[in-house]
Chains A and B, each alone.
Chain A
Amino acid sequence: MFGLCDFFAQTCGNLSILFAAPVFNVQLLIDGVLVGAVFALSAYGLALVWGVMNVKNLAQGDFVMVGGYLTWWLTQTFGVSPWVLLAGLVASFALLWGLGWLLYRLVIAKVIDRDLFTSLLATFGIAIVIAQVLNLIFGSDTQSVDPGYESLTLLGGAVTVAPQKLFAFLLAALLAAVVITFMKRSRMGQAIRATAQDPRAARVLGIDTDRVYAFTYSLNAAICGAAGALIVMIWVIQPFYGITYSIRAFVIVTAAGFGNLPGVIASGLGLGIFEQFGGFVLGAEFQQAIVVGVLVFVLLIRQIQQAMNRQVVQ
């Protein structure tokens, strides 16, 4: 054990900090949850689009960037205030809804029945076009909105929480709750779930699946837009940073299982927390490796579970 610690001196040192000063666990846990919530939100719509339409939307992160830029632009025009930020959130939701609908009609509707590769290419194309258009309009400088709120301090100053992160977390939670209720209670939500289960049967029962698809894709884009509005408040955006959120969304949805909305929240939060602790103990360079490692682990467990189920059935 000591030999190992000599070799991984920094890792062992970092681990011992967590045991010696447990307060840093609190900081990491809080950050992990707040960070994870925003990741979960940007993955939220993907779970729907993937589950309902079987479209793997590679433009996920670029929708996020559009929402971010709209909110940033609003704060540049009207100044930074909580109301402008809230307006940015609503405006991003609305604008991206429109954009999603337009893209569905123009592109997605034409490729939805094709094979996986075609829809991947189409959404990849959309991603490139969005990123370049943002670059043409706003330039390639990084942007961010700093509301300049004083951070909250807990436990005698050892733990800090940025109010905007908390704000983003609450809004993400609210949005998630609304979408879940909507899917459970409303007619459209039921139609979406029916289409996800069996599009042919849904059509037989009189559900206009084309409308359901258009709605689902628009809803996804709108949620991404809202996530973008939150991201510009807590981090930085740039026309080409969308891919970060696309990748995270794919990891989260794959781990959660397609169409499993509560699962997305759980795996988003889990990913956030793993990233924080992994980054602290092993170093930031391992954050990504940890995320992918966890994904592999989850898939493995699932595989084993399914194999066992199959044996029972046999």
Chain B
Amino acid sequence: MKTIKKVALTALAAAGFGAVPGLFGLPGSLLAPGFAATPGSAMAQECGTITLGAALSLTGKYSTNGLHTKNGYEFAIRKIKEAGGVKVGGKCYNFKVIYYDDESTPARGAQLAERLINQDKVQYMLGPYSSGLTKAIAPVTEKYKIPMVEAEGASRSLFNKGYKYLFAVLSTSEQYLASAVTLAAEVAEKRQGKKPSDVRIALVVENDPFSLDIRAGVKEDAAKYGMKIVIDDRMPRDLSDVSATLTKVKALKPDVLIASGHSKGAATLTRQVGEMKIDVPMIAITHCESADIIGKFGKTAEGFLCSTQWAETLSYKDPLFGSAADFNREFKAAYDMYKNRSVPYQAAQAAAAIYVFKDAFERAGSLDKEKVRDALAATDLMTFYGPIKFSPAGNNIAKPMVLRQVQNGQYNVVAPSKFASHKLIWPRKVQ
């Protein structure tokens, strides 16, 4: 009891002292230990610490992916530590991240970004999970000129605002299913013996910014080939049934069905494609992995094309993580929760974000955030996750999206053909 009182008193006193500079008109930050990088005490270790800040969705609707992201960050930080830390100007540093839970709500994310920058004095930020949260946080980091490397916000609307301090390692959302259009054009020419302009597309996406980006990307590419979009439905966010749209698919018999609507859309669509015996030779969707369509709807999922940012079978590699397969293996060994499932790309790209920071710090040779920003902008890096090179807008223009097909209960890379490990099975058969 006594100790509790003592602790409480100390806390009160500390709070009191904290208020004093404010009372006397002194800026609080002068007294607070406000250095982002403090040399570690000789007792603990030789390396100093670089503190990064991140608001992540640890509770709420994005909590699963929020956790994947955090695991990715932490795994990379550990790997860097084991490899001797980040070398900046002859000194070594290790990363440390201050995490806050944004409860999967954008408003909270923006608040926490302010808090990380103003109270915790972080000088460098890591991205949150989802485009929505990134959209809420980017204006804050931009205002304080804090460089942010993000790995989970793909909406292209993030990259037309003229942000100078935002860098994203992943491919933007309009590319997610655009490769399916290219693939359909190839198939039309080589296997169907008809012109790409004869291909008819059914397009079903959720009515949210991310999926609408995907729709825009597909429409652009379809227009390039002169393909006709015969169905262009937008599913409402609180949709539970897509049978009306699928009835239309049955009636119009398109050559390709392209759909995107997060895990819910993927699960509902796959399920009802099976129930309604929808017979379309090519079906391409997003979020196969997070909806676990193989595990849940095995037979129906056969032949589905799934877009992904990264796959462990790709031939990318780097000196820190090794190959994509090495990353996959070591990551599984590090976290029990991935024992019976493949490592989600969300974790891989989070790890890549940390690696990009390490690279930028080393090239900048300084902890000055402006110099780090400039180094980030000049990034040209090969990683296990894919090549990373930023456009002036901050999105990664070097890495292509990958299409995997469900073949005998496995995800096999079938496009782009440069990285394909397996041949496309076409047409998809109704099982």
Interface residues in chain A, defined as those with a beta carbon under 8 Å from any beta carbon in chain B: 10, 14, 17, 21, 24, 27-28, 31, 35, 132, 135-136, 139-142, 144, 146, 148, 151, 153, 157-158, 160, 162, 165, 231, 235-236, 238-241, 243-244, 247, 275-280, 283-285, 287-288
Contact = CB atoms under 8 A, between A and B. Distances in A.
Given A135-B59, A240-B61, A285 B235 contact: yes
Interface stretch (B83-91, B248-256, B306-314, B361-369): B248-256
A110 B396 CA distance: 56
Contacts of A285: 207, 233-236
B232 A283 contact: yes
Nearest to A238: B264
Contact of A142 (B59, B250, B252, B267): B267
B268 A279 contact: no
Contact of B292 (A14, A27, A141): A141
B291 A284 contact: no
A162 B275 contact: yes
Contact of B64 (A24, A140, A153): A140
Interface string B217-259: 0000000000000111111101111111101101110000000
B63 A140 contact: yes
Nearest to A38: B240
A244 B234 CA distance: 17
13 contacts: A10-B230, A35-B241, A132-B60, A140-B61, A140-B62, A141-B292, A144-B271, A151-B276, A165-B275, A236-B240, A244-B238, A284-B235, A288-B236
Which of B65, B251, B297 has the largest count of A CB atoms less than 10 A from its CB?
Answer: B251
Interface string B62-80: 1111000000000000000
Given A24-B251, A151-B277, A236 B244 contact: no
Interface size class of B (residues with CB under 8 A): 35 or more
A252 to B, nearest CB: 14
Contact of B247 (A24, A35, A287): A24
Nearest to A23: B251
Which applies to chain A's interface (DSSP): helix, strand, loop or mixed? helix
Contacts of A153: 277
Contact of B240 (A14, A135, A136, A244): A244
B247 A28 contact: yes
B290 interface: yes
Contacts of B299: 148
A151 B245 contact: no
Given A151-B276, A244-B238, A279-B244, A24 B267 contact: no
B263 interface: yes
B204 A135 contact: no
Contacts of A144: 267, 271, 296
Contact of A284 (B62, B234, B271, B276): B234
Contacts of A279: 233, 244-245
A17 B252 CA distance: 9
Nearest to B57: A140
A280 B248 CA distance: 6
A31 B247 contact: yes
Contacts of A17: 248, 251-252
A141 B251 contact: no
A158 B251 CA distance: 9
A144 B240 CA distance: 12
B296 A146 contact: yes
Nearest to B242: A284
A284 B252 contact: no
A247 B264 contact: no
A6 to B, nearest CB: 16
Given A17-B251, A285-B233, A160 B277 contact: yes
A151 B235 contact: no
A243 B264 CA distance: 14
Interface string B260-272: 0001100110010
Contacts of A239: 61
Given A28-B247, A235-B240, A236-B264, A141 B64 contact: yes
B297 A146 contact: yes
Nearest to A231: B240
A219 B299 CA distance: 39
Given A31-B241, A142-B267, A240-B61, A280 B247 contact: yes
B277 A141 contact: no
B277 A287 contact: no
B277 A284 contact: no
Nearest to A280: B244
Given A35-B243, A142-B267, A236-B264, 6 more contacts: A27-B243, A28-B247, A146-B271, A151-B277, A236-B271, A284-B239
B297 A235 contact: no
A271 B7 CA distance: 60
B234 A276 contact: no
A92 B406 CA distance: 35
A157 B235 contact: no
A107 B328 CA distance: 48
A277 B238 CA distance: 18
Given A27-B247, A160-B275, A141 B290 contact: yes
Contacts of A139: 63-64
A28 B252 CA distance: 15
A162 B204 CA distance: 22
A20 to B, nearest CB: 9
Contacts of B230: 10
